Amino acid sequence: MHGLRIEENIDVVVANAENAAGGSGLTPVIYHELIGAGIDCITMGDHVFRRREIYSIMRGETKIVRPANFPHEAPGHEFTVLTARNKVRVGVFCLLGRVFMAPVDCPFQAANRVLSAMAPNVKVILVDFHAEATSDMQLMGRHLDGRVSAVLGTHTHVPTADEQILPEGTAFQCDVGMTGPHESILGRRIDRVLETAKTFRPTHFEVATGDPRIHGTLVDVDPTTGRALAIGRLVINQAEASRLASLTREC
Ligand SMILES: [Fe+2]
């Protein structure tokens, strides 16, 4: 991550880590590993509480947020405001979609509530919309167009080719994709998932290991207005990751 930051001149890195603990949930140890690796803020999704030991991190740390459309009593913060490397304040929150997902509170109302609670001088705001259906994601993009800097989707594990800047200046992409084994079914071993799909016999869906890739999206934002200036997809394979790691060693 440090090499990537150097090469792309990145001021702030936000990552969804809801599946970082062996494919589901997040643990305190992995949380600290990710922050130590150069991630500035972690968003979560429908698997946020799969590992109970994360509750204390969710409550006590300011570099991680839970979905803002969870009940108020759920552990964790609805949003956070960080200071990027270029000293710009950056607001971050995440929301869950409702189409083909477990029931949650209205994400549109939750987004309104969070934005009204955030200090008005926070101009740069990133929203992770963790959702299954592209229609749901597009609706959130339009709901927040001109009110936040970026609405970037996660959850499907597959990057979509619709990165764009919406008419009022919000960067948008339905899904930024997965960082993990590309040779897989959504990160799990192909043979196991295929066996269960074909026979209905339950198997253990082990996390796959083949062809690890980093998928992500780079957004350039005007810090004075919060409007997005550019958006681009990012794909890094293992060879490229090794080259970036060597940049870090040279510094
Ligand atoms: Fe998810």
CB count within 10 Å of CB 244 equals 19
Give the pTM.
0.95
Ligand 1 centroid distance, CA of 182 (Å): 17
Separation of CA 235 and ligand 1 centre (Å): 20
What does the alpha-carbon distance between residue 27 and residue 19 come to, in Å, rounded to a whole number?
10
Can you give the pLDDT at residue 250? 65
Tell me what the mean pLDDT of segment 148-159 comes to. 98
pLDDT at res. 129: 98
Q: β-strands 124-130, 79-83: how paired?
A: unpaired
Q: What distance in angstroms lies between residue 249's CA and the mean position of ligand 1's atoms? A: 34
Which of 217, 214, 213, 245 has the alpha carbon at shortest distance from 3? Answer: 245
Ligand 1 center–CA 154 separation, angstroms: 7
Q: How far is the CA of 186 from the centre of ligand 1 (A)?
A: 11
Say how many Å lie between the CA of residue 148 and the centre of ligand 1: 22
Rounded to 5°, the CA angle 97-101-102 comes to 110
Q: Which of left, alpha, beta for 87 (phi over 0: left; psi -120 to 50: alpha)?
A: left
Lowest mean pLDDT among 23-37, 110-124, 213-227, 237-251: 237-251
Q: What is the DSSP-derived secondary structure letter of residue 186? A: T
- Percent of the chain residues past pLDDT 70, beyond the cut: 99
pLDDT band for 160, please (50, 70, 90 cuts).
very high
Q: Residue 199 Cα, ligand 1 centroid: separation in angstroms?
A: 25
Q: What is the pLDDT of residue 134?
A: 97
Average pLDDT, the chain: 96
Calpha distance 243→251 (Å, rounded): 13
- Residues in contact with 231: Cβ distance below 8 Å, sequence separation at least 6, in sequence order: 150, 163, 164, 165, 171, 172, 173, 217, 218, 219, 220
Q: Is the pLDDT of residue 50 over 90?
A: yes
Residues with catalytic roles: 47
| Contact between 176 and 217 (Cβ < 8 Å) | yes
pLDDT value at residue 251: 58
Residue 138 has pLDDT above 90, yes or no: yes
Tokens of 239: 């060879």
Long-range contacts of 136-139 (CB under 8 A, 24+ apart): 136/97, 136/98, 136/99, 137/97, 137/174, 137/175, 138/172, 138/174, 139/108
- Give me the pLDDT at residue 247, please: 81
pLDDT band at 248 (very low <50, low <70, confident <90, very high): confident
Say if CB 221 and CB 172 are below 8 A apart: no
